[in-house]
Each structure stands twice: as C-alpha cells, then as structure tokens.
Structure 1
C-alpha cells in the first residue's frame, strides 16, 4: 500500500504552501529593501548604497540582503528597475486617461511636474541623480539608466509624433527635438527647485513648455 509520500512524491503535510509562504516573505523583504534603497540613491547616488547601510534601515540583515541581490551591482540594477516602476506609476499611468497626442503630452508634463514637486523620490527625480553619476561610466548600471531614460523620451516623442499626424502640431515638427526640449525643461525645473528650494522653477518650466508647443502650432486651449 502506498504511503502519502510515495503516492504524491511529497512528505505528509507538505504541499508547496510552505514554499509559497517563503517566497511571499522573500518578495516582501526584497520590496522593502528596494523601496528604502531607491530613496537613499535619489539623494546620495547608487554608489553610496551598501549592504550594511541598508541593513541598518531596512528590516533585514546584511547577509540576507546579499542573498537577495548577490552583489552591489546586482543591488544597483534592481534599484534602477524598481525606480522605473515607481516612475511609471507616478508619471505615465496617471497621464493615460488623456487622449493620445497633444493632450497626452500635456498630461505627461503635468504629471512629471507633480512627481518632482511632491518628491516621490526624496532627492527629486531619481533618474536625474543617477544619470549624472553614471553618464561617463560604461557598464550594466549605466546601460540600465540609459535604457530607462531612452524609453521615457521615446514615449514622449511618440506622443508628439501622434500629435503631428493628427494635425495638432505643425507638419514638419521633429518629435525627437520636441521631446528633448521638453525633457530638458522639466529636468531644469527639478534641479533648480532642489538647489534653490524654490518651487517657482516649476511654473517657469510649464510656461516654457507651453510656449514651445504653441510655437509648433499647438492650440492654446489644449494647454490650459
């Protein structure tokens, strides 16, 4: 007669639920560490992250953090990936209800300003901090940061392209040029607000983006 173990291949009372619980605990721990790390990196940069430093503030010890990420570079890459998720949830997702094209571009501008102003990341825009840190340092971390920024600017440029195709912006408008200029203005607002502790930078950026889009034929009524 087969025992429960020989019939199922498992010992009595073990059905995978224990494994699922361990995995869930591991996922929660990983998320807690990453959420602390992205905030720290937004202020001090990715190089300042350390397993020991995170163990002092996150609910897990140093060896457990090492087990989760393997190395400092592994931790840095995971932090960049988590920052992309947070950024998408704060900027891209809330802008989706706006119609594709010019309305979406304007909604993205508004959501980006809100994201920076309310310090979703404690140090302002996470990607502004780390792109300066890694722009001259080839390797996987730089590649991950560059990919995140390229995806954002590409999405913005795509919405501009749709606006041009719909006649909302003048024919011949270069979507990549507009995306570059918009992103530069938003980045400047973020940096100035931090350096001078002055939120007027956001108003200046919104006014400048509005002028930029109107100079390409945007209807002012769409940009209210």
Structure 2
C-alpha cells in the first residue's frame, strides 16, 4: 500500500496563496476549466480501461472513477448555466502536459507513469478544492466541500494501481513527478486556470 495517507502527505508543496486570492476574480475561468478537468478525468479513466483491459482491478476502479467524474462534470456545468455563463472550450493550462513530459514511453513504465501522473492530478485538484472553500461564494464553496469529501480517495486508487503495475513501490517515480509538479504549481503563470501556477502581475 502507498505510504501517503492524505493529499498533504503526498503533494510536494501547497498551492501558492497568490493563486488562491486571485481565484475569486476569475470565477468564469475557474468553473469552465474545472468542468474541462472533470470531463478529461473521465476520459482518462475510460482510455485506461480501453488500453489495459487485462488489468481487472484497474477496470473496476476506473469504471467507478469515470462515473463519478462525469457526474461532477454535470454538476459544474449546471452551476455554469445557472450563472448565465456560456460553456465553451478554453486553452488548457501547462499543468497536465508538463506532468506528461516526465512519462516513459515503453511498457510497463508507461502504465506506471500514467497512474502516478493521475495520482498527482487528483491530489492537486482536492488540495485546490480545500484551499478555495474559504474564499469562494457559499454555493461553490459548498459544492467544493462535497467534491473534496467524495474525491479524496482517487489519488490513492491511482497509487495502488501504480504499485500493482510496477510489482512494488513506485517511490522513485513519485519523486520524479513531485519535482516537476512543484515547479508547475509554484512558477508564475501567464494564464489563470484551475491548475495554473501563481499569476503574473498582469493577470
């Protein structure tokens, strides 16, 4: 079993306060990108099920995760529509692509890295829900509290599957991704997104 018991044990650093304080000024971007993140999380789970059909526990965990992520996507979309915002595509942040740059291309390392990458994305999402709750309006804060409660186990599911795929601990790969993740989270960013770094002065 993975040693990390909480998202704070697992993540290499906290979200910078500058990002947290900027978020309420960019509610539309926050909600739009959050919706995209939930949709992409479901798509990732489905893709893993398709590509690794022989991994029975992966099938079970990713099937459950995909259903939850799609339900959360629908819930974010409802908030967007209720606020008179237009759901649309927006360019993604550098975060996910920056993490994927660390991935190996050959199996079984590829699957292990896909799962470790998924663990970081899920853990960081939960950490941001937690940081945002005190600074957002009551409706969205309450929604994020419910998401935090329901999604907190996702990163552990990914880590368990990574260890199974690796036939043992994945501490070395976690360390590689942790270094990259910390850099992505703390380096100033030109755009505001759900997983972006702290804003540059002109945001």
Structure ID, larger Rg: 1
Higher relative contact order (CA 8 A, sep 6+): 2
Q: Which structure has greater helix proportion?
A: 1
Settle same-fold status: TM greater than 0.5: no
TM-score normalised by the chain length of structure 1: 0.29
